[in-house]
């Protein structure tokens, strides 16, 4: 265990025993299915778990371990309080090292990891969770997701069972899924109802942007107050030259990426931009001093578009 975690472990244990409410001021929290009146860098959504998730995350997908600590520290300095990692990214440790060196309180940082697609099933997921703790030295993890629905029904449900057990043990505060299609979500909901384990899906993570709106998944999730995280929110730069983004950028004095991130916020999502370039990390957090009006939002409404820039496991039927 890191010295940082030793200093904070007593507080964390006491907090788990006495309350499950967020330490964030209540005026910065809102339910995941409701939009706040105004966004700022401290805005968060209240999850089904009764914990809170910051509305802006810093993604570290494909961030090399040897630079991950440095850029994550920069993200903290820029105001981010939410880091999205995964076992498959192989950078959990430098993320945790950055947390320890940030000077921030542990309870003020939201850290996510995920079950690797090749580690599905009850036993494999239990091992993955323990490996995350061994790698990070953390006393608890804020959010653990099933990274993809691959592996078949038995493996999916076994992984969920392992997450539920870890949550009930206080190791993980919130749990959820990533890249699940509606049929996967229905399957999991049926299991939760039949098993009567008292669990809830707290968070779902998908590639979501104007050219991949996923309205069916969004509707399913919002009806259940599931917070929706959007990875690839700036479409890996592939849409930088879209005329509509140029027009909106000029109108608001913002970059095309900031327009897309603001769109994501106003849709009620939790965008997870990633960058290893400090100026871009800063720019991606500078999205609270303007607002897209109804016409702007309508101009980015492409309900029939299906244009993923990454993988799409939502379509799998194994």
Please tell me the distance from the alpha carbon of residue 95 to that of residue 169, in angstroms, as a whole number: 23
Tell me which of 89, 140, 144, 231 is the catalytic residue: 89
Q: Residue 201 to residues 10, 155, 167: CA-CA distances in angstroms?
A: 28, 17, 12
Tell me which of 74, 147, 184, 209 is the catalytic residue: 147
Contact, 185 vs 220, CB < 8 A? Answer: yes
Q: Which residues pair with 58 in a beta bridge?
A: 83
Residue 147 catalytic? yes
Longest Cα separation, the chain: 54
Residue 150 catalytic? no
Q: Could you give the strand order of the β-sheet that contains 82-84, starting from the edge strand earlier in sequence?
A: 58-59, 82-84, 110-115, 141-146, 172-178, 203-207, 227-231, 270-271
Q: Residue 110 to residues 76, 96, 153, 174, 307: CA-CA distances in angstroms?
A: 11, 11, 30, 11, 30
- Provide DSSP, 124-176: HHHHHHHHHHHHH--S-EEEEEE---TT-HHHHHHHHHHHHHHHHTTSEEEEE
Question: Which residue carries 């496991």 as its tokens?
Answer: 313
Quick one: residue 253, left, alpha or beta (phi over 0 = left, psi -120 to 50 = alpha)? Answer: left
Contact, 81 vs 110, CB < 8 A? Answer: yes
Residue 5: CB partners within 8 Å, gap ≥ 6? 100, 106, 137, 138, 139
Direct distance between the N- and C-terminal alpha carbons of the chain, in angstroms, rounded to an integer: 39
Active-site residue list: 89, 147
């Amino acid at each position: 265990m890191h010295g940082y975690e030793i200093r904070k472990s007593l507080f964390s244990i006491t907090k788990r025993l006495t309350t499950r409410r967020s330490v964030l001021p209540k005026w910065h929290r809102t339910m995941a299915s409701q939009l706040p009146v105004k966004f700022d860098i401290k805005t968060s959504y209240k999850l089904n778990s009764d914990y809170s998730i910051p509305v802006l995350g810093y993604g570290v997908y494909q961030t090399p371990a040897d630079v991950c600590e440095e850029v994550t520290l920069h993200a903290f300095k820029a105001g981010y309080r939410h880091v999205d990692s995964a076992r498959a990214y192989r950078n959990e440790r430098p993320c945790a090292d950055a947390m320890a060196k940030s000077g921030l309180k542990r309870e003020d940082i939201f850290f996510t990891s995920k079950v690797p697609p090749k580690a599905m099933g009850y036993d494999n997921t239990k091992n993955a969770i323990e490996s995350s703790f061994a790698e990070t030295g953390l006393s608890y993890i804020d959010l653990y997701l099933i990274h993809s629905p691959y592996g078949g029904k038995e493996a999916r449900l076994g992984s969920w069972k392992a997450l539920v057990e870890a949550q009930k043990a206080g190791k993980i505060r919130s749990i959820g899924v990533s890249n699940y299609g509606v049929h996967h979500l229905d399957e999991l909901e049926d299991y939760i109802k039949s098993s009567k384990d008292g669990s809830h899906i707290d968070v779902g993570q998908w590639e979501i942007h104007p050219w991949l709106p996923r309205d069916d998944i969004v509707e399913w999730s919002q009806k259940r107050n599931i917070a929706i995280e959007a990875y690839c929110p700036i479409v890996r730069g592939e849409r930088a030259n879209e005329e509509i983004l140029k027009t909106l950028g000029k109108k608001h004095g913002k970059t095309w990426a900031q327009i897309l991130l603001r769109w994501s916020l106003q849709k009620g999502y939790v965008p997870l931009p990633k960058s290893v370039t400090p100026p871009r990390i800063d720019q991606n957090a500078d999205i609270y001093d303007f607002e897209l009006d109804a016409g702007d939002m309508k101009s980015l409404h492409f309900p029939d578009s299906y244009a993923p820039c990454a993988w799409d496991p939502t379509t799998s039927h194994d």
